Structure 1
Amino acid sequence: MHATQPLDLSSRYQLACQLAREAAQRGLRLYRQRDQLAVEHKGGFSQDVVSAADRELEVFIKAELMKLFPEDGFVGEETGAQRLDARCIWVIDPIDGTACFLHGLHNWCVSIGLLVDGVPAIGAVADPNHDELFHGGRGFGAWVNEQPLRVSEAQDLRAGLLGVGTFYAEGKQHFMPFLGKLLDAGGMFLRNGSGALMTAYVAAGRLLGYYETCLKSWDCVAGLALLAESGGRCNNFLRGEGLLKGNPYLVACPGVYEQVAEMIGPSLDAD
């Protein structure tokens, strides 16, 4: 257990916003030259790709974070984990939505989140194609640019769209049964290729919720900090080895959370 001591969350929040913006603009320049980027496939999955842009942006973000807060821990999609015993752990996805990025779709972003004592405390999600920075955290509220975020007040899935996704082998057998139940209930779904953006959209009330059969922490820690400040609900995503290996994931406005969780069933929180 860490000793309780004052933390400079304000400076970390300002830095997260600044770096998300800067990295997103760097990413946008690379996006416009994407045909020249070296690309590799990870893990044998055709859609699990990494580009030189992912690596360049993560190296930039990590260096800036460690320069000002060398005592903090770090988890990045491309460069791995370090100092996981620190009170503050940055959780970074330099480009969430790489497949979209490489194919000329605008559904990608830079996601910078901070865990404090294991709880999402700060988030900055920068979408340069739409000139939007979703940002906020514990004590800071939740915002998109200068507008406050609030989850939807809907009480039924028929009132809007639900974000969905499946990718990794873990849990995908639950996906089609879930979609069948969702459609039977009169709901409709969206998949945009970026877990960070879909979580931010739930916080903003644009989506009623978002379910992924298995998500990675770097795709959602920033968004979870926004969700907590905008009135949303989430499952116990970080349980067990969630930080490093991921877990099933559900975020939603309070009015539909239980409805969606019931459709997913026990796989949502199974160990």
Structure 2
Amino acid sequence: MSDPIADRLALAQRLATEAGRLALRFFHDRDELEIETKGNPQNIVSRADRAVEALIRRGIGAAFPEDAILGEEDGRSEGKSGVTWVIDPIDGTSPFLAGLPHWCVALALVEGTTTVAGVIEVPVAEEQFTARRGKGAWLDGAPMRVRPGARLDNSLTAIGASHRTDPEHAAQVIGDLMRAGGLFYRNGSGALMLASVAAGRLGGYYEPHMHPWDCLAGMLMVAEAGGRCTTLPGPLQAGGLVMATAPGLWDDLARIAGV
């Protein structure tokens, strides 16, 4: 018997791989890209973002034309199936355009209001993170687990920020984290940092506000890898506060961040 979510996850993996290859070609020719801003000089988009999202949308439309799509660049298209694909074609556009390797393609599948599967493709590192609700999380097919025994004082804690972040709050969180014996980390891609928590590379992640395309896939990975996560409030497009950690960090980071 066909498994509709498994079929979509398999497609998401293929599309993420194809999208990653296209994005990597743009990455190697990034000096030729025209850059636009979206209301703030730090909120930028390039032709690469738009082309990668278009590739993913075409693939979804050909295989599952009744599914809805919510993409960072081209917004929402309605569907009838009850399944929504949430797309970030290039999460980490700033590092991408700066020639840094910390960017990825992120796809999440949402059934109703529940994230049921996710894929994060990291083209420069040639890695693919995947997760399915109730089934587990994997890095290139090998099971992922959050870091065992991780605490605030023995692991890296990632702190996300954007033009929407209050600078004073971010400074307070980083300062209190360091005063508690922790070290903070940031690479410019929230999706990739969340996947790194799931893989046990980071102990935790906190950001005051994330869009759903930035975080849904990674949050599911952390949960399926044995970690703890906040829950985004509705509606889907609104996003919200995100915290995701190995169990041993949760209480300390929640206290520091005021969660």
- Under a length normalisation based on structure 1, what TM-score does the superposition of the two structures give? 0.91
Structure 2 residue matching 1:67: 3-state secondary structure: helix
Listed as ranges, the gaps of 5+ residues in structure 1 are 1-5
8 Å Cα contact 1:151-1:253 kept in structure 2: yes
Structure 1 position 127 matched with structure 2 position 122: yes
Deviation at 1:170, TM superposition (A): 4.8
Structure 1 position 111 matched with structure 2 position 106: yes
Structure 1 position 167 matched with structure 2 position 162: yes
Deviation at 1:27, TM superposition (A): 0.6
Structure 1 residue matching 2:39: 3-state secondary structure: coil
Query: Following the alignment from structure 1 to structure 2, what is the Cα–Cα distance between the partners of residues 135 and 51?
Result: 26
Give the RMSD, CA atoms, in angstroms. 1.6
Aligned twin of 2:256: 263
After superposition, the C-alpha distances for 1:22-57 in whole angstroms (9 at most, x for unaligned) are: 10011101110011111101112x221100000000
Structure 1 position 22 matched with structure 2 position 18: yes
Query: Following the alignment from structure 2 to structure 1, what is the Cα–Cα distance between the partners of residues 241 and 168?
Result: 12
Report the identity percentage: 42
8 Å Cα contact 2:66-2:80 kept in structure 1: no
Query: Following the alignment from structure 1 to structure 2, what is the Cα–Cα distance between the partners of residues 160 and 129?
Result: 24
Query: Following the alignment from structure 1 to structure 2, what is the Cα–Cα distance between the partners of residues 7 and 170?
Result: 40
Query: Following the alignment from structure 1 to structure 2, what is the Cα–Cα distance between the partners of residues 81 and 131?
Result: 29
**Relative to structure 2, which stretch is displaced further, 147-156 or 104-113?**
147-156
Listed as ranges, the gaps of 5+ residues in structure 2 are none
Structure 1 position 12 matched with structure 2 position 8: yes
Query: Following the alignment from structure 2 to structure 1, what is the Cα–Cα distance between the partners of residues 85 and 99?
Result: 28
8 Å Cα contact 1:123-1:224 kept in structure 2: no
Query: Following the alignment from structure 2 to structure 1, what is the Cα–Cα distance between the partners of residues 205 and 11?
Result: 28
Deviation at 1:213, TM superposition (A): 1.6
Query: Following the alignment from structure 1 to structure 2, what is the Cα–Cα distance between the partners of residues 154 and 148?
Result: 18
Query: Following the alignment from structure 2 to structure 1, what is the Cα–Cα distance between the partners of residues 185 and 7?
Result: 36
After superposition, the C-alpha distances for 1:33-89 in whole angstroms (9 at most, x for unaligned) are: 011111101112x22110000000001101111221112111100000122775211
**Relative to structure 2, which stretch is displaced further, 58-67 or 6-15?**
6-15
Query: Following the alignment from structure 1 to structure 2, what is the Cα–Cα distance between the partners of residues 194 and 72?
Result: 27
8 Å Cα contact 2:67-2:80 kept in structure 1: no
Structure 1 position 53 matched with structure 2 position 48: yes
The AA in structure 2 aligned to 1:261 is A
Query: Following the alignment from structure 1 to structure 2, what is the Cα–Cα distance between the partners of residues 240 and 15?
Result: 26
Query: Following the alignment from structure 1 to structure 2, what is the Cα–Cα distance between the partners of residues 17 and 83?
Result: 22
Query: Following the alignment from structure 2 to structure 1, what is the Cα–Cα distance between the partners of residues 57 and 73?
Result: 11
Query: Following the alignment from structure 2 to structure 1, what is the Cα–Cα distance between the partners of residues 226 and 93?
Result: 29
8 Å Cα contact 1:13-1:122 kept in structure 2: yes
Structure 1 position 191 matched with structure 2 position 193: no
1:213 aligns with one of 208, 221, 224: 208
1:40 aligns with one of 36, 42, 47: 36
The AA in structure 1 aligned to 2:37 is H
Question: Which aligned runs of 4 or more in structure 1 are off by greater than 3 angstroms?
Answer: 170-173
2:74 aligns with one of 74, 79, 86: 79
8 Å Cα contact 1:168-1:214 kept in structure 2: no
Query: Following the alignment from structure 2 to structure 1, what is the Cα–Cα distance between the partners of residues 69 and 201?
Result: 30
